[in-house]
Amino acid sequence: MTGMGKLLMAAGAVLLIAGFLLQFIKVGKLPGDIVVKKGNMTVYFPIMTSIVVSIVLSAIFYFIGKFR
């Protein structure tokens, strides 16, 4: 089970770094994101943010798979 332990430690490190970076980077305010405000209700559709996150994660997983 040492493989599972290493995987959990790596996942924790990635989450720690991502959480730290999210404190300083304004994610979700890209030009393609849609915000609808009516009265007391606000609906947010992060379309461009989702596309950017998808591209970044795809590149990361591609390189992890390439070097595995």
User: Is there a contact between 42 and 36 (Cβ–Cβ < 8 Å)?
Assistant: yes
**C-alpha radius of gyration, the chain, whole number:** 17
pLDDT reported for residue 1: 56
SS3 for 68? coil
pLDDT reported for residue 33: 87
User: Is there a contact between 48 and 33 (Cβ–Cβ < 8 Å)?
Assistant: yes
pLDDT reported for residue 40: 95
pLDDT reported for residue 64: 86
pLDDT in tens, the chain (68 residues): 578 888 888 888 888 888 887 778 766 677 888 999 999 999 988 888 889 889 989 998 998 888 87
pLDDT reported for residue 55: 93
* Chain-centre distance for alpha carbon 9: 19
Query: What are the backbone dihedrals phi and psi of residue 48, each rounded to the nearest 5 degrees, phi first?
Result: -70, -35
